[in-house]
Amino acid sequence: MASLILKRSSPSALKSIVDGLRMGASSSRAYASVAAGTDVVAAAPDVSLQKARSWDEAVSSNFATTPLKDIFKGKKVVIFGLPGAYTGVCSQQHVPSYKNNIDKFKAKGIDSVICVAVNDPYVMNAWAEKLQAKDAIEFYGDFDGSFHKSLDLGKDLSVALLGPRSQRWSAYVEDGKIKKLNVEEAPSDMKVSGADVILGQI
Amino acid sequence: MASLILKRSSPSALKSIVDGLRMGASSSRAYASVAAGTDVVAAAPDVSLQKARSWDEAVSSNFATTPLKDIFKGKKVVIFGLPGAYTGVCSQQHVPSYKNNIDKFKAKGIDSVICVAVNDPYVMNAWAEKLQAKDAIEFYGDFDGSFHKSLDLGKDLSVALLGPRSQRWSAYVEDGKIKKLNVEEAPSDMKVSGADVILGQI
């Protein structure tokens, strides 16, 4: 639990959030049912994601969405999901861990490194710009949570004033098939879903 | 419909969004059931809002929320709601219209000018900072939409990749009682919910 966010917090607040987020984790299984071998396109045949972009860009695109096959088919993809834009671990550790290692992913032949969260694409876009990560990482919104739900990676984080969001996770996906999947036991953890772990798995 | 966002869009995209958002409006009534005289605290007795703040501040506060009575009781409040942080009309017109008139509200004895949206408090905080509006306006999240639903001001904006959000509206509230309420016919409009209209109603 040695995350920046927790280090910055008071001991009582620290205990509270850890208890709260762990309570969420223990009330459902810590690991999702998807696993290596799952075809993410087949698992969510009607699901699309929404490319992070400004409101004006979305209007110009007639609010177009991106089918999963366009994201995964014929490509080597590293994708990671997190509880929310503008939350602590996500902003301070999770995204930077991928951004700072983007050259290593490219050297391994990865076509896309993708960040996804249960947020709308306008919030994802603003957050990506603030983190100066848009050049390295592709950001997608899963505004209605349907992508995460279809993979059984959804999670209620109302305890943290977020509502229905997702686990913190990462996956290496080849041509739509999950080759490696890492899901944190609690969303406040970043033990297995960072760039260092998945770089060692590819 | 003379909004910046629509002026910037192509004619076909313009028609599409207007049709889409109006379709949403016409499939339910355009005006909410709350009206002048409604006591917002009594209408939503168990509902709280979430003060816009950083994740670290929320952790330090043990994810505290703000009961409606603390916001409204014994105070003169102007409150406006909008479809979402980082969306077009909201960023470019709605918030600025209040921010730029804050001295006029204060001159009329208004204790608080409040912006609320169905977003989490961390997104609301980042957006308020980007708009440089935090000194003038209090921002609150309604992360689960319960405040807007209790007032029958919720609205499904999935057509705009937003999901369950809210109407665009404004109200003048004295000691918890709505004195004036303005709800746009369509969320893409800003005809009746801007600062100029409600300043004339106080």
Q: Which B-chain residues 32-51 have CB contacts (< 8 A) with chain A?
A: 50
Q: What is the pTM of this model?
A: 0.86
- From the CA of A34, how many Å to the nearest CA of chain B? 25
A161-197 tens-digit pLDDT: 999 999 999 999 999 999 999 999 999 899 999 999 9
**Helix boundaries (H) for A39-179:** 40-43, 55-60, 68-72, 88-89, 95-99, 102-107, 121-130, 146-150
DSSP β-ladder status, B48-51 and A177-183: unpaired
Do residue A58 and residue B121 have CB atoms under 8 angstroms apart?
no
- Cα A185 from Cα A24, distance rounded (Å): 10
User: What would the pLDDT profile of B30-88 be if each residue is shown by its tens digit?
Assistant: 445 677 788 999 988 899 999 999 999 999 999 999 999 999 999 999 999 999 999 98
User: Taking CB atoms and an 8 Å limit, are A56 and B12 in contact across chains?
Assistant: no
CA distance B123 to chain A (A): 6
| Per-block mean pLDDT, blocks of 10 residues, chain B (202 long) | 35 44 39 74 92 96 97 97 90 90 98 98 97 96 96 96 97 96 93 96 94
Q: Are strands A76-82 and A169-174 parallel, antiparallel or unpaired?
A: antiparallel
Between positions 128 and 157 of A, the ones with CB within 8 A of B are: 130, 141, 143-144
**Minimum distance, in Å, between the CA of residue A31 and any CA atom of chain B:** 25
Q: Chain A residues with CB inside 8 Å of B159's CB?
A: 63
pLDDT for A88 equals 86
Which residue in A has a C-alpha nearest to residue B156's C-alpha?
Answer: A144
Q: Which two tokens stand for residue A95?
A: 């995204």
Dihedral sign from CA coordinates of B40, B41, B43, B44: positive
Nearest residue of A to residue B144, measured between CA atoms: A163
ipTM reported for the complex, 2 dp: 0.86
* Residue B118 phi, psi (nearest 5): -80, 75
Which segments in chain A show pLDDT lower than 50? 1-31
Per the CB < 8 A criterion, the answer to whether B128 and B135 are in contact is: no
